């Protein structure tokens, strides 16, 4: 059974009004990256290829930062910190406005116990402009049985860790 958007919002920080939907929570765009080097996935190890941040443009001092993306594949980072609660699994779906603009967002299953500012693969099939902070995805949570919780390499990804002095 999928949870309500209000329930999902309880497990996401740094949200604004308008992000809570009946069946999930909208995630917004923080940053866009292009992969510039090949990666490798082996049986016992993985290596993520080097990435380069795509710089947004700001036409005027008051205009929002905007990414002008030609056709291709990009890694997008979400702005919100997500915590998948025990007894649940998270799924990310693209907002319909992306699909209606010839773009698709792909992601993986988000296991119980995962915490971080996740990423997705944005496939751009026709040039598009995306403002930083635009709602591009929707997180839904479903009840799920599981043994253990996530403790993988991406735990805490893109979340600044406090410095210890």
Q: Is residue 83 within 8 Å of 115, Cβ to Cβ?
A: yes
Specify the length of the chain in residues. 165
pLDDT at 17: 84
Please list the pLDDT of the chain residue by residue as tens digits (165 residues).
999 999 999 999 999 989 999 999 999 999 999 999 999 999 999 999 999 999 999 888 888 999 999 999 999 999 999 999 999 999 999 999 999 999 999 999 999 999 999 999 999 999 999 999 999 999 999 999 999 999 999 999 999 765 555
Does this model's pTM top 0.75? My answer is: yes
Per-domain boundaries in the chain: 5-38+50-143
pLDDT at res. 163: 53
Looking at residue 164, its pLDDT comes to 57
| Other CB atoms within 10 Å distance of the CB of residue 139 | 26
Show the DSSP H helices in 68-132 as ranges.
Answer: 96-99
d(C-alpha 48, C-alpha 100), whole Å: 30
State the DSSP H helix or E strand holding residue 160, giving kind and residue range, or none if neither. none
CATH of domain 5-38+50-143: 2.70.40.10
Going by C-alpha positions, the residue among 4, 165, 27 that lies closest to residue 95 is 27
């Amino acid at each position: 059974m999928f949870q309500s958007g209000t329930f999902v919002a309880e497990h996401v920080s740094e949200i604004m009004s308008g992000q809570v939907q009946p069946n999930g929570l909208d995630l917004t765009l923080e940053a866009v990256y292009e992969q510039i080097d090949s990666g490798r996935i082996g049986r016992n190890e993985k290596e993520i290829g080097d990435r380069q941040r795509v710089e947004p443009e700001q036409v005027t001092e008051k205009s929002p930062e905007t990414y002008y993306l030609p056709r291709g594949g990009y890694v997008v980072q979400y702005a919100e910190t997500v915590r998948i609660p025990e007894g649940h699994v998270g799924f990310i779906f693209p907002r319909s406005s992306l699909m209606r603009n010839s773009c698709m967002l792909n992601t993986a299953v988000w296991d119980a116990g995962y915490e971080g500012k996740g990423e997705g693969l944005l496939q751009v099939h026709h040039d598009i402009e995306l403002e930083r902070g635009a709602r591009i995805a929707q997180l839904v949570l479903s009840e799920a049985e599981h043994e253990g919780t996530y403790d993988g390499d991406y735990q805490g990804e893109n979340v600044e860790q406090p410095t210890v002095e």
